[in-house]
Amino acid sequence: MITVGVEEEYLLVDPGTGLPVPKLDAVRAAAGLDPVTTEGEVQAELLQAQVEVATPVCTDLGEVGGHLLRLRHAIGSAAERIGCRAALTGAAPVKADVRVPVTRKTRYLQMRGHAPRLVDEQLINGMHVHAAVPDRTVGVEVLNRIRVWLPTLLAMSGNSPLWEGHETGFASWRTLVFGRWPVSGPTPVFAGVDDYDRRVSALVESGVIADTRQVYWQARLSETYPTVEIRCADVQLRADDAVMFAGIVRALVATAVRDATSDAPLPQCPQELLHAATWQAARHGMSGPLVGPCGGRHSARDAVALLMRHIASALEEAGDTREVTSLVHRLLRDGAPAERQRRAMAEGGLPALIDLLTTQSTAP
């Protein structure tokens, strides 16, 4: 059984205005007093208006969901106690002209010195899923095989349609903001683990990025854990939607390992087409056409159906079919989180949007 772990980033906002508030240290301190959290589960992020949580290693989706609910409750309660709220959105829907301070870590301060405007606008929040692999050689095989499916995952996860108080026209504006960093977007194809290491080293040696942690591809080998890290998704409104993505990612990785073992041919998609597919997924989410895993124009529903057929046997082997498919059906029925944000804003304005972003996180 492939183990998984999930990292989520939350935005700290004023409950009345929705503006980001730099209260990371206070929220971390308050959350640390909660007996349900342990050291290392609540972490600092780049900007002081963000906080990150990380689940332990999990063997089944029930564990993932339980840990996410526990951590979301802890951060939400801590934020309330110090006068703000934790918002589950991929991008700050409203933003003040005043700059949010950078967390005072050497690496973060160096990033701001290198690209100040990009850091100032990094009020974006993702969900990262780590899936265990036997070794780095297999990990690179997995990266080569899952890359074509990540635009579909991105479309399903879009949760950032608003920015600076305005509709962006994109389901995942976070993807556009993140894509401005020099090493970002779709993962390239690698000849093997030596090729991966050589090319990452060349990027660092170029001086354009400071270290390997600034390799912001949508999927990469983890520098810390024996995992592949899938980073394409916006943070999710609901914990069970995050569980759905964890299940899909685990099945994608399991399918890739199986295909690599049997020497199945690599799925072919040129890098430029994958970039276009990523942009299209960020633009439309589940509300428009998508580029399929090997090209071609598809409806969002058909693209999801292709993904689910691809991973069906892996879901069955993990015992995840019923849970994941029921959550996918709900997504197809109700729309991705971006549509829920838009409906809330249209029907109740900013107060309704803030309520949605700060109360759905622990919904059953």
Quick one: pLDDT at residue 344? 96
125 three-state secondary structure: coil
Alpha-carbon dihedral sign for residues 319, 330, 340, 152: positive
In a domain, 339, yes or no: yes
pLDDT tens-place string over residues 277-334: 999 999 999 999 999 998 899 999 999 999 999 999 999 999 999 999 999 999 999 9
In a domain, 47, yes or no: yes
Q: Which residues span the domain enclosing 46?
A: 4-349
DSSP string, 33-55: TSTT--TTSEEE-SBTTEEEEEP
Q: Is the confidence at residue 364, as pLDDT, over 60?
A: no
What are residue 125's phi and psi, to 5 degrees? -135, 130
Asked if 5 contacts 55 with a C-beta cutoff of 8 angstroms, the reply is: yes
In a domain, 359, yes or no: no
In a domain, 135, yes or no: yes
Q: Are strands 4-13 and 216-217 parallel, antiparallel or unpaired?
A: unpaired
Give the chain's length. 364
274 three-state secondary structure: helix
In a domain, 126, yes or no: yes
Asked if 345 contacts 353 with a C-beta cutoff of 8 angstroms, the reply is: yes
In a domain, 198, yes or no: yes
Q: Which residue has the higher pLDDT, 215 or 32?
A: 215
Tally of domains within the chain = 1
Check residue 296 and report its DSSP letter. Answer: S
Q: Are strands 184-185 and 216-217 parallel, antiparallel or unpaired?
A: parallel
Quick one: pLDDT at residue 33? 65
Sequence-distant (≥ 6) Cβ neighbours of residue 117 within 8 angstroms: none
Quick one: pLDDT at residue 232? 98
Quick one: pLDDT at residue 132? 98
In a domain, 175, yes or no: yes
Check residue 140 and report its DSSP letter. Answer: H
* Alpha carbons 173 and 338: distance in angstroms, whole number: 10
Q: What average pLDDT does range 227-234 have in this prediction?
A: 98
In a domain, 358, yes or no: no
Give the containing element (helix H, strand E) for 127. strand 126-132
Q: Is the confidence at residue 34, as pLDDT, over 80?
A: no
Assign 360 a pLDDT band (cuts: 50, 70, 90): confident
CATH of the domain at 192: 3.30.590.20
Strands, DSSP E only, in 172-323? Answer: 184-185, 216-217, 219-221, 227-234, 290-291, 297-298
pTM passes above 0.85 = yes
Q: Could you give the C-alpha distances from 110 to 115, 119, 209, in angstroms and in order?
A: 9, 10, 11
